[in-house]
Chain A
Amino acid sequence: MAAVTTTSRQKLGWGATNLVVIALALIPVLWLASLSFKTPTAILDPSFVPAQWTWGNYTQILSTTQFIRPLINSIGIGLIATLIAVVLASMAAYAVARLRFPGKGVLIGMALLIAMFPAISLVTPMFSIERAIGLFNTWPGLIIPYVAFGLPLGIYTLSAFFREIPWELEKAAKVDGATPFQAFVKVIAPLAAPGMVTTAILVFLFCWNEFLFAISFTSTLASRTAPASLAYFSGSSQFTVPTGPIAAAAVVITIPIVIFVLFFQRRIVAGLTAGAVKG
């Protein structure tokens, strides 16, 4: 009897705790969503739920190149940087997890150093360099630093995944008559695929999120990414603050993330914590 009551009380307690956590995580996002549906007059009303609903903010931002073009830039730059970073990181992580060679420690140290690197320290010199070699305000001008900062993340995550692969399988494949290349393509790569997908998600999230480089190394719509474009939004007239459109744009760039998180939460958690704990 006593045991039953404690359990139901415990259940209630945990239920309440879970609700608080979920509410704290979601309220700021819901607020943003609410703003994006408010009409310009409703914006000036601080209530959480819009008094008047409208799709106007969305139609406005989705009909101007001011937002569409940065969205395309964000997707393109993010995908290309992710692809390059995952390929390069896979090669390095395979070597780290699998091969013996001097200099491995240096590589790991270097990756660690870059993971801790203050991005602002690069802004001034990179700005100067990119202007000098014509990369300023181009896609490659952002892709290159994104790859460099995505690499440490990729090398850590992937080498943690690679270490989990039973390498006896590679031996078995060789004894079965596979060349080293066949052993990699037919046996190791299918097993490494989940790790690569996870890494790709994390690197893409990083690129999608990045702001400092995005506002420093771009100057026009040619390469400005979506987060940077928010800072340059203008209202319908020069004197209105474009709160509604900004909120709508913020929701648009948040939606892919929420979908990602819903679909890949296990992988994201596995990737984020890989290699970070075992030390």
Chain B
Amino acid sequence: MAEIVLDNITKRFPDGALAVNKISLDIADGEFVILVGPSGCGKSTTLNMIAGLEDITEGELRIGGKVVNNKTPKDRDIAMVFQSYALYPHMTVRENMGFALKLAKTPQNVINEKVEEAARILDLTQHLDRRPANLSGGQRQRVAMGRAIVRDPSAFLMDEPLSNLDAKLRVQMRTEVSRIQRRLGTTMVYVTHDQTEAMTLGDRVAVMRNGLLQQVASPQELYERPANLFVAGFIGSPAMNFLGGTVEENAIRTGIGDIPLTGRLQQVLSRSGSGRDVIVGVRPENFEDASSVPADVRPHGITFQASIDVLESLGSEKYIYFTQETGSVDAAELTELARDSGRADTGSGEATVVARLDPETRISEGDNAELWVDGRALHVFDPATGQNLTLGDSGSPASSAGPGGGAAPAQADAGAAGQDTGSAAPPPR
């Protein structure tokens, strides 16, 4: 059992590429932390540095209070599960799981006992004498987990452990991972590029982009109060819609109409004066069929007309897609997100907006429907810095400036534990 502290960790490769840039992160004993981000954001490099498989260029890594920068993986007391599982093909399941203990010269009867216990937890008992080649994908994955569990290490490191499984098995194993972590209570650092995994598994999620930490917070916090455009666009499925807008007196002018400014947002935006360009973010569930919105709620938002291109009915909810003049929403973050999710570039000035409606709605494909959008749930972003202006003055001002525009403003309420601007402290458990 141990806490893991990353103190301004930097990784620069021999060819000069900066993979990880001054990351600071405190992972509490027993905590389950997810590192998430698009491919190439430095999350796996970070994990490899924690494991000792990559040199740390700068900064300090502490596990259980001890600096381990120069320790070999062997001396760090960590276990790791790899994306490819990395099972030794020439050893049986039993030998695979017992390999680490054998290297540590553990007596054979203790090894057997521990391997069999882990096999019981993972439902592998009847496969112990088979080779990895004769196992299914899900079984291999469980052997990889078993190899980690047997060690009883002070921390588990997981590098996209579920990404090689098919969709159904992945959901099943996700629950499994969660159950095992809770049962063992061991610190776990889990890398994934799948935001659904990130949202469902972790106590806290650290979002990375281009080697920089964007925000560290609980899944709910990330969803409700994303620190910047990138986090807002990355977390949530379907993704948040982004529309171009201009700040007017008491309202933001957008392609779907003038959205009135209320309360806090008004204060923040009025200071910068009217005429300022912003990007407005609306989650799909903040749209509604105008006809089903009660009269007393209506004034909190605006209604607008849209011609519905596609309607997908999932039974419990309906998704509608309509095309919208977005104004200019040119931000590096959005281009990157679009590339990552395989969507076409969004720079065209027109974009498809997704809305999630109540299944009761009568709207059908091809209609010119009247929709309502909740003005209270808007996120407003600065196109230049990507900062979420909605959060602007909510908490302590100290947390706003970080490398790359705001690592972890949402952490302000976590107390004074994080002294540096970029640092993120664990929440009280």
| Residues of A that sit less than 8 Å from B by CB | 100, 166, 168-169, 171-179, 182, 186-187, 190-191
Is B73 an interface residue, CB under 8 A from the partner? yes
Contact indicator A175/B79 (Cβ below 8 Å): yes
Contact indicator A182/B103 (Cβ below 8 Å): yes
Given contacts A172-B86, A190-B90, contact A179 B74 (CB under 8 A): yes
17 sampled A-B residue pairs with Cβ under 8 A: A171-B82, A173-B88, A173-B99, A174-B53, A174-B72, A174-B73, A174-B74, A175-B51, A175-B78, A176-B99, A177-B73, A177-B100, A178-B74, A179-B72, A179-B74, A182-B103, A187-B88
Contact indicator B90/A175 (Cβ below 8 Å): no
Is B353 an interface residue, CB under 8 A from the partner? no
Contact indicator A178/B103 (Cβ below 8 Å): yes
Chain B residues 97 to 143 lying within 8 A of chain A, measured CB to CB, are 99-100, 103-104
A166 to B133, CA, bound (A): 14
| Residues of B that sit less than 8 Å from A by CB | 14, 48, 51-53, 72-74, 78-80, 82-84, 86, 88-90, 99-100, 103-104, 147, 151, 157
Contact indicator A171/B53 (Cβ below 8 Å): yes
Give chain A residues whose Cβ lies under 8 Å from the Cβ of B74: 174, 177-179
Tell me the smallest distance from the CB of A208 to a CB of chain B, in Å.
Answer: 31
Tell me the smallest distance from the CB of A128 to a CB of chain B, in Å.
Answer: 45
Pick the contact of B80: A100, A166, A175, A191 (CB < 8 A).
A175
Tell me the smallest distance from the CB of B46 to a CB of chain A, in Å.
Answer: 15
**3 closest residue pairs by CB, A with B:** A176-B100, A172-B86, A168-B86
Question: Residue of B at shortest CB range from A187?
Answer: B88
Which of A166, A168, A174, A177: most chain B Cβ within 10 A?
Answer: A177
Tally inter-chain residue pairs, CB-CB below 8 A. 58
Tell me the smallest distance from the CB of A99 to a CB of chain B, in Å.
Answer: 12
A245 to B99, CA, bound (A): 58
A236 to B83, CA, bound (A): 71
Contact indicator A175/B89 (Cβ below 8 Å): no
Contact indicator B82/A168 (Cβ below 8 Å): yes
A182 to B86, CA, bound (A): 16
A177 to B147, CA, bound (A): 12
Given contacts A100-B14, A191-B89, contact A176 B84 (CB under 8 A): no
A172 to B140, CA, bound (A): 14
Question: Residue of A at shortest CB range from B147?
Answer: A176
Question: Residue of A at shortest CB range from B54?
Answer: A171
Give chain A residues whose Cβ lies under 8 Å from the Cβ of B88: 169, 172-173, 187
Give chain A residues whose Cβ lies under 8 Å from the Cβ of B83: 168
Question: Residue of B at shortest CB range from A190?
Answer: B90
Question: Residue of A at shortest CB range from B157?
Answer: A175
Pick the contact of B86: A171, A177, A179, A186 (CB < 8 A).
A171
Given contacts A100-B14, A171-B53, A190-B90, contact A176 B103 (CB under 8 A): yes
Contact indicator A168/B84 (Cβ below 8 Å): yes
Tell me the smallest distance from the CB of A172 to a CB of chain B, in Å.
Answer: 4
Give chain A residues whose Cβ lies under 8 Å from the Cβ of B79: 175-176
Contact indicator B103/A175 (Cβ below 8 Å): no
Give chain A residues whose Cβ lies under 8 Å from the Cβ of B86: 166, 168-169, 171-172
A187 to B95, CA, bound (A): 12
A154 to B157, CA, bound (A): 38
A166 to B88, CA, bound (A): 10
A172 to B87, CA, bound (A): 8
Tell me the smallest distance from the CB of B160 to a CB of chain A, in Å.
Answer: 12
Which of A168, A176, A182, A187: most chain B Cβ within 10 A?
Answer: A176
Tell me the smallest distance from the CB of B155 to a CB of chain A, in Å.
Answer: 11
Tell me the smallest distance from the CB of B420 to a CB of chain A, in Å.
Answer: 29
Give chain B residues whose Cβ lies under 8 Å from the Cβ of A175: 51-53, 73, 78-80, 100, 157
Question: Residue of B at shortest CB range from A180?
Answer: B72
A190 to B88, CA, bound (A): 10
Tell me the smallest distance from the CB of B283 to a CB of chain A, in Å.
Answer: 38
Give chain B residues whose Cβ lies under 8 Å from the Cβ of A177: 73-74, 100, 103-104
Give chain B residues whose Cβ lies under 8 Å from the Cβ of A169: 86, 88
A169 to B82, CA, bound (A): 9
- Can you name 13 extra interface pairs (CB under 8 A) apart from A172-B88, A176-B100? A168-B83, A168-B84, A171-B53, A171-B80, A172-B82, A173-B99, A174-B72, A174-B73, A175-B157, A176-B103, A177-B73, A177-B74, A178-B74
Give chain B residues whose Cβ lies under 8 Å from the Cβ of A190: 90
A80 to B158, CA, bound (A): 46
A175 to B74, CA, bound (A): 6
A245 to B286, CA, bound (A): 96
Give chain B residues whose Cβ lies under 8 Å from the Cβ of A178: 74, 103
A173 to B99, CA, bound (A): 8
A16 to B99, CA, bound (A): 54
Which of B48, B51, B89: most chain A Cβ within 10 A?
Answer: B89
Tell me the smallest distance from the CB of B236 to a CB of chain A, in Å.
Answer: 32
Give chain B residues whose Cβ lies under 8 Å from the Cβ of A173: 88, 99
Give chain B residues whose Cβ lies under 8 Å from the Cβ of A186: 99
Tell me the smallest distance from the CB of A192 to a CB of chain B, in Å.
Answer: 11
A172 to B147, CA, bound (A): 10
A168 to B147, CA, bound (A): 15
A177 to B52, CA, bound (A): 11
Tell me the smallest distance from the CB of A213 to a CB of chain B, in Å.
Answer: 39
A168 to B73, CA, bound (A): 14
Which of A175, A178, A190, A191: most chain B Cβ within 10 A?
Answer: A175
Give chain B residues whose Cβ lies under 8 Å from the Cβ of A168: 82-84, 86
Give chain A residues whose Cβ lies under 8 Å from the Cβ of B157: 175
Question: Residue of B at shortest CB range from A178?
Answer: B103
Give chain A residues whose Cβ lies under 8 Å from the Cβ of B100: 175-177
A179 to B100, CA, bound (A): 11
Give chain A residues whose Cβ lies under 8 Å from the Cβ of B84: 166, 168
